[in-house]
Amino acid sequence: PFPPALRHDLLALCQPGADEIHRAGVAGQQWARLAAQGVDELLQQQSVHPDQVSAIGSHGQTIRHHPESGFSVQIGAPALLAELSGIDVICDFRNRDLAAGGEGAPLVPAFHAWLLAAPQTRAVVNIGGFANLTLLDGACVSGFDSGPGNVLLDHWIHQHTGKFFDADGAWARGGQVIPELLAAMLADPYFARSAPKSTGREYFHPAWLAHQLHSRQDNPADVQATLLELTARTIVDALDSCQPQAREIYICGGGVRNGALMERLQQLLAPRPVHSTASLGVDPDWMEAIAFAWLAWRCQNRQSGNLPAVTGARGERILGAIYPA
């Protein structure tokens, strides 16, 4: 986990503020030093020497994502990470797709298709800060960001309890969904937009939630329950509108640890079963990390990493920039 001060600084950089360039530079170096420490610890645990690792695939920390303006910014001081780790670093995966007219995200559907494609129709839902869907139907692959995953849930519980996340969805379980608030949030234009589409903290942020709650005096636990319902409903609505025939639905990302969210997804999707990707042999906590290792491998081998059907780019492109050790 990030130290609290770094977490605060990274979140603050997602919104306009003073001295942003300096703050981003400092935070990026702190991020790289923390990443290098994690890499070193992992290699020691596995008795692997840095010379045995061909590259680190580093997504970095997104602080701005504006595909409508043609750019996306991830910080993480890749040159410093290469210097500290002694391993080549491959990063900046989004901008080549953006340059070709794409959204630059989500990128993991290409990996899901490579790893998890099957004769039967499948859906893979990655629930991190935001939720993105991969729809696998034979040779056809599509995907997009459905909306908030954990981002608003984490913000709300931290604001009211100081906790960084709602363990197992326990606080949300203790609340009641507020129908009129849920309806107002579901009316946001993002949810009605057709794919390709992607989103981030630039859109669904604390001020967005504050606007929804303007002049309301709701029980905070009820708001948490409503935010959980928002995440579940927007995922299910996206699945039902784009791939209602999917009979296998797999969840990965941190959201799989939220028991209340998983239960609600199962209720809304019944009789279709909902499983963790662990049932496919992929730890849900590792799926995205493996995906960016795969994208780094693709870059090394000069193979495309995007899916134009997902991002809207004009064609397949090799993604990533290489920082040699």
Nearest to 71 by CA among 96, 90, 50, 46: 96
Per-residue pLDDT at 66 exceeds 90: yes
- pLDDT value at residue 42: 97
In this prediction the pTM is: 0.94
275 CA to centre of own chain: 19
Q: The domain containing residue 116 runs over which residues?
A: 108-280
* Angle of CA points 285, 288, 294, to nearest 5°: 130
Residues 34 and 159 in one domain: no
Per-residue pLDDT at 1 exceeds 90: no
211-224 tens-digit pLDDT = 999 989 999 999 99
Exposure string (b/e) for 209-239, b if CB count within 10 Å is 16 or more?
beebbeeeeeeebbbbbbbbbbbbbbbbbbb
At 192 the three-state DSSP class reads helix
- pLDDT value at residue 319: 98
- pLDDT value at residue 238: 96
Residues 14 and 147 in one domain: no
Half-sphere exposure of 102 (CA within 13 A, CB side): 27
- pLDDT value at residue 22: 98
Among residues of the chain, what percentage have pLDDT more than 90?
96
Higher pLDDT, 120 or 290: 290
pLDDT band at residue 167, thresholds of 50, 70 and 90?
A: very high
211 CA to centre of own chain: 24
CB 144 within 8 A of CB 197: yes
Residues 97 and 171 in one domain: no
Per-residue pLDDT at 243 exceeds 90: no
Residues 226 and 116 in one domain: yes
Among residues of the chain, what percentage have pLDDT more than 70?
100
CB 62 within 8 A of CB 271: no
Average pLDDT over residues 152-172: 97
Residues 178 and 269 in one domain: yes
List phi, psi (to 5°) of 107.
-105, -20
Average pLDDT over residues 269-287: 97
pLDDT band at residue 256, thresholds of 50, 70 and 90?
A: very high
Question: How many domains is the chain partitioned into structurally?
Answer: 2
Residues 231 and 310 in one domain: no
Residues 117 and 257 in one domain: yes
210: enclosing H helix or E strand = helix 206-212
Residues 213 and 162 in one domain: yes
- Can you tell me the distance from the alpha carbon of 3 to that of 170, in angstroms, rounded to the nearest whole number? 24
Average pLDDT over residues 85-113: 98
Residues 132 and 51 in one domain: no
Give the tokens for residue 309: 């059907």
How many helices (H) and strands (E) the chain has is answered by 14, 10
List phi, psi (to 5°) of 170.
-60, -40
Residues 254 and 200 in one domain: yes
- pLDDT value at residue 139: 85
Residues 16 and 158 in one domain: no
Average pLDDT over residues 285-314: 97
- pLDDT value at residue 154: 97
Write the DSSP symbol of residue 194: P
Residues 153 and 194 in one domain: yes
Q: What is the CATH number of the domain that holds 174?
A: 3.30.420.40
Mean pLDDT, the chain, integer: 97
- pLDDT value at residue 312: 98
Nearest to 52 by CA among 61, 63, 44, 60: 44
28-37 tens-digit pLDDT = 999 999 999 9
- Can you tell me the distance from the alpha carbon of 11 to that of 53, in angstroms, rounded to the nearest whole number? 31
